[in-house]
A and B are shown apart, each in its own frame.
Chain A
Amino acid sequence: MYRAPYTQSISRQNKACFIFLLDQSFSMEEPLGNSSNRKCDELVAAINGWLQNMAIRASGDEGIKDWMDIGVFGYRTDQQANPIIESALQGPLAGRMLVSISEIGGAPARIDTRMQYLPDEETGEIFQIPCEMPIWVDPRAEGGTPMCHMLYLAHQILAGWIGQHPRSFPPIVVHISDGESQDGNPIPYADALKSLATEDGNVLLFNCHLSMTAADPFMFPSSEHGLPDELARALFHMSSVLPEPFFRHGQSEGFPLQPNARGMAFNADMVCLIQFLNMGTQAAPGLR
């Protein structure tokens, strides 16, 4: 019986897979647009927040449901310009390529305390409370941007995962970077990654470009027209067209999406980054 692509429900039997590819090059030291914090700090804050939300969402009476595998990778170069591509997870999960959400939930590297600002509806004031923030990933910013090596490793990892989960919702790769590839043209590597497929559809590759300028962001463009430069156009070609469930989810969230909108953000600030992460990962069946 025919079933539309990207509709496989996520369950213990048909797990999901999310992979985050994080640019850890030196330029991630720069401040993120519209923020006084470094790009690398804002990036790991968003990723740690996402991991925490997913662990909470997967938790139930029987503990954390084992319904997704997650990989968080960083890429940079050493002083001799050799690529360093490795898991960015810290603590007990350090060095692990793919980790189940139950392992994520149970093994943060540490717990930090952050101040949270909440509204008091009785007095119209904002008050602060300390809250515990589990940390799995720490910021890093050194060396260059070996993007092709990163995409190649992602291909290898996902080819193996798909072999074990042929009926699952296809893996979603979220790539977050602030600059151009320094080890070649990444488009063929991105195409190879996107050509991988489960029975439910091709691997989805979403790209988010972080900017230190406070320029207007481009989110989910549907054509190259209007994109500001060659880097933006390269990311556009690397990015998957949003499948129907993602498109509908984006519209319901108020994004003015055009047909053939791609999973791409350019000149993103912190707000865009979080919106992008949510948009790119919450439309899969069973995750909303």
Chain B
Amino acid sequence: MDQLPPTGKTGLGSRVVFLIDESESLRECIAGGTKSKAESISTALNSLLSQLVTVADLEVAVAGYRGDSNGGGDVGCRWGGLLAGCRFVSTAALADAPLLVENRVRRQGLPIPGAQEETVQFPIWYVPQLGGSILPVLGYAYCRHLVVAGTTPETAWSKPPLVVSFVDELVPEQVEMAVKRVLALSSPGGPPLVFHVHLGGTSAGRAVLYPSSDLHLPPGPPSDLFRWSSVLPDYLVASLRGTQAPVGVEARGMIYNASVADLIRMLSLVKVYAQQGILDAPRPGGQG
């Protein structure tokens, strides 16, 4: 099943793929936080999905890659429950099909006695299941397959597809060609935007956020990630600068050794991307 039945919403043709490295190394505690990297990704992603349900109509795929117990690889979309087997799911369809809904406590101040707290319903679509390491090349190959499948004639005025890739174990072997094959795809809106998220751990060094060059990145895989990350479109640069984030000319969609706060901010760009799609959509009658 590629897609749930249409919901009657307009559908913008914008598609986002979240590609997640689900190797065991994600059990490490995230920089600047108290939870594991896997939990942090899950919470930030589920939070984003629930926000997208209310603000945008786009199509989303959540894909992961991990090693299985037979020494092979498990690569595929990670929807469950009513969405099991789907690849792209519209945000409208997401609203009706969370895997579960938890009660969580929203902080409204520092965690000190007397601080205000609020219990909120927190829908969950993605639950991380970690496995062994496999070459990310398999994940990118699957991602390419998704992007190709998601490019249809009716997306003629859409923006480029967006791929947000969460990487942990930086294994350069064969990845370059696989990423380049994703970046080289064409769509009516242009080649895909590929952003990379690398999270810092307990002993993480300095974070590098949205770099304009690889000058301050360690050589090797971190610099490779820079080369494989797309330049941020102007509207995303403007959004970041609006939050006081220093973003240079030709900044890339990449965060390295990032903290939990950096992760949440990075994912907020997807919301901006989605809303930009609404602004860019042609008006009725074909004008604009």
Q: Which of B58-66, B84-92, B212-220, B225-233 lies at the binding interface? A: B212-220
In whole Å, how far is A267's beta carbon from the nearest beta carbon of chain B? 10
B240: nearest chain-A partner, CB-CB: A34
User: Does residue B206 face the partner (Cβ distance < 8 Å to A)?
Assistant: yes
Interface residues of A in 101-146 (CB under 8 A from B): 117-127, 129
A216 contacts B213, CB within 8 Å? yes
In whole Å, how far is A135's beta carbon from the nearest beta carbon of chain B? 18
Please report whether the interface of chain A is mostly helix, strand, loop or mixed according to DSSP: loop
B261 contacts A34, CB within 8 Å? no
In whole Å, how far is B67's beta carbon from the nearest beta carbon of chain A? 27
User: Does residue A252 face the partner (Cβ distance < 8 Å to B)?
Assistant: yes
B44 contacts A269, CB within 8 Å? no
B247 contacts A125, CB within 8 Å? no
A217 contacts B215, CB within 8 Å? yes
B241 contacts A129, CB within 8 Å? no
- Most chain B CB within 10 A, of A124, A126, A215, A255, is at A124
A256 contacts B106, CB within 8 Å? no
User: Does residue B158 face the partner (Cβ distance < 8 Å to A)?
Assistant: no
Which residue from A122, A215, A217, A253 sits with its C-beta under 8 Å from B106? A122
Which residue from B106, B107, B216, B243 sits with its C-beta under 8 Å from A255? B216
B213 contacts A129, CB within 8 Å? no
A121 contacts B108, CB within 8 Å? no
Separation of A231 and B264 alpha carbons in the complex (Å):
39
B205 contacts A253, CB within 8 Å? yes
Given A269-B246, A271-B246, decide whether A119 and B261 contact each other with a Cβ distance below 8 A: yes
User: Does residue A33 face the partner (Cβ distance < 8 Å to B)?
Assistant: yes
12 new A-B contacts, CB < 8 A, other than A36-B241, A124-B44, A269-B248, are A34-B247, A121-B40, A122-B105, A123-B43, A123-B122, A124-B46, A126-B261, A214-B248, A214-B249, A216-B248, A252-B205, A256-B219
| Leading 10 A-B pairs by shortest Cβ distance | A124-B47, A254-B205, A34-B246, A119-B261, A124-B44, A124-B43, A254-B206, A122-B104, A214-B248, A120-B107
What is the interface of chain A, defined by CB distance below 8 A to chain B?
Answer: 33-36, 117-127, 129, 214-219, 252-256, 269-271, 275
